[in-house]
Structure 1
Amino acid sequence: MGTKNHFQFSTGVIAYPIFFVLTIWIVFWVEVRFGSNFNKYGIYPLTVKGLRGVVLSPFIHGSLQHLYHNTIPLFVLSTALFYFYRHIAWKVLILGILISGFMTWCIGRPSYHIGASGLIYVLVSFTFFKGVFAKHYRLIALSLLVVFLYGSMIWYTMPIEEGISWEGHLAGLITGFIFSLVFRKTIAKPKKFEWEHPDFDEANDPFLKHFDENGNFIDHVEEQQDQTTINYIFKDNKED
């Protein structure tokens, strides 16, 4: 089995999420430093000019609090994405931004929709449903962790708080679920140990011979030496 299908840590697992998070912070710093307002580059539904926000809106945030609240989940979820699903990570990120953004453009209220929260909902939804569909213990554990950390975010896919783009959240949730179905067969596999291979001969394995059927350690080498000594003694006695 090739290592390309295994869960492996690489520099990209951390580097790409850091780069993405750093980019949105730099954009916000430019706004503050030069007194600019990039909100007009967000998604404005059902307008041709508003389509540019499909690409640009995840990098634009209205306040420091807005940016801070998106930074941690974006970093954590994108890191998990690149670690567990690195072969499709860029597809999920890029298509997630485009599809969820376009859905927001279609269903959103006549207002500017900005922020990376739509992408975060894509990652939350994809990570959760993908783990459930995969039926792999590590991915299921990841799904449960996502529910524990970000399960309450489900309420913000409904219009319960004014000033929040629940349409963007809902679009991200739907997009992530669709991705979990589309990429259902693309599941990373853990490394297999020697004894997990189908052609492994457990009875003759030199390591497992040191353990009995209950898993208790025994030393066959010493037993064999003792038995050899006993046989030698008996042999000498018979000769006498």
Structure 2
Amino acid sequence: MDDVSIKNLPAAFYLVAFMWLLQVAQMLLPGDLSHFGILPRHLSGLIGIPLAPWIHHGWMHLISNSIPFLVLGTLLQYSSKGNFWDITIILAVVGGLGTWLLGSAGYHAGASGLIFSYWAYLLADAYYSRSIKSALIAVVVFLLYGGLVFSLLDFRPQISWVGHASGMVAGVLVARYVSRKEKRSL
């Protein structure tokens, strides 16, 4: 039996491993990395836009985000024709800006905004690209994570509802942009 090479693992695996390393560092080092999350409408909170998806408010937060991130990120990588990193960066920035502009007071951190971005991107891509591959991926995404839409109705203070909604909007906008760009290049 051939050994599975680490270089053949999906990119989302490396990002989840990075999140776990940060959580271990947060446990071992003094201070709280959550302060590197998005702090809405504060200039100092802008640093959180690229950092917030990788930082979590504890182990349960990280655990609950790891599997959906890995599954949806892998599906995005499979469907994105080599643009996984570009799409991930754009989704994180657009969703993060929405959270920074509209979020409630306090630090917003965690991968859930990016999870919502991936989810919405994969569903919207099926609509915009109209390819069989995208449609099949969207069916899988909806069957596995269709219930995500209901978490938009979760207004508990410890849940970043705006982060989820901003991620979802970012996913739809970026899917439309990528689809238009691909159609122009044909």
TM-score in same-fold range (> 0.5):
yes
Residue 179 (structure 2) pairs with residue 184 (structure 1): yes
Residue 30 of structure 1 deviates from its aligned partner by 0.3
Residue 55 (structure 2) pairs with residue 64 (structure 1): no
Q: Name the structure, 1 or 2, with higher relative contact order (CA <8 Å, separation 6+).
A: 2
Residue 71 (structure 2) pairs with residue 76 (structure 1): yes
Residue 150 (structure 2) pairs with residue 164 (structure 1): no
Partner of 1:7: none
For residues 24-75 of structure 1, what are the alpha-carbon distances to aligned partners after superposition, in whole Å with 9 as ceiling and x for unaligned?
1000000112243111111110001111111111111011111011111111
CA contact (8 A) 1:44 1:50 kept: yes
Residue 15 of structure 1 deviates from its aligned partner by 4.0
Give the superposed CA RMSD. Answer: 1.9
What CA distance in whole angstroms lies between the structure 1 residues aligned with 2:98 and 2:43? 14
Alignment of 1:184-223 (within 5 A): 184-185=179-180, 186=182
Residue among 36, 40, 47 paired with 1:45 = 40
The letter of the residue matching 2:17 is: L
Secondary structure at the aligned position of 1:21 is classed as: helix
For residues 104-150 of structure 1, what are the alpha-carbon distances to aligned partners after superposition, in whole Å with 9 as ceiling and x for unaligned?
00000111100011111110000011012222222211101111111
What CA distance in whole angstroms lies between the structure 1 residues aligned with 2:9 and 2:77? 8
Count of residue pairs the alignment pairs up: 178
What CA distance in whole angstroms lies between the structure 2 residues aligned with 1:106 and 1:179? 18
Alignment of 1:121-132 (within 5 A): 121-132=116-127
Residue 179 of structure 1 deviates from its aligned partner by 1.1
Percent of aligned pairs sharing the same letter: 27
Partner of 2:134: 139
Counting helix residues as a fraction of each chain, which structure ranks higher? 2
Residue 112 (structure 2) pairs with residue 117 (structure 1): yes
What CA distance in whole angstroms lies between the structure 1 residues aligned with 2:146 and 2:155? 16
The letter of the residue matching 2:63 is: Y
Secondary structure at the aligned position of 2:147 is classed as: helix
Secondary structure at the aligned position of 1:157 is classed as: helix
Flag the 1:131–1:14 CA change in 2: closer, same or farther, 3 A: farther
CA contact (8 A) 2:38 2:100 kept: yes
Larger radius of gyration: 1
Partner of 1:88: 83
What CA distance in whole angstroms lies between the structure 1 residues aligned with 2:136 and 2:59? 32
CA contact (8 A) 1:43 1:112 kept: yes
Which consecutive residues of structure 2, in runs of 5 or more, have no partner in the other structure?
1-5
What CA distance in whole angstroms lies between the structure 1 residues aligned with 2:36 and 2:172? 27
| TM-score using structure 2 length | 0.88
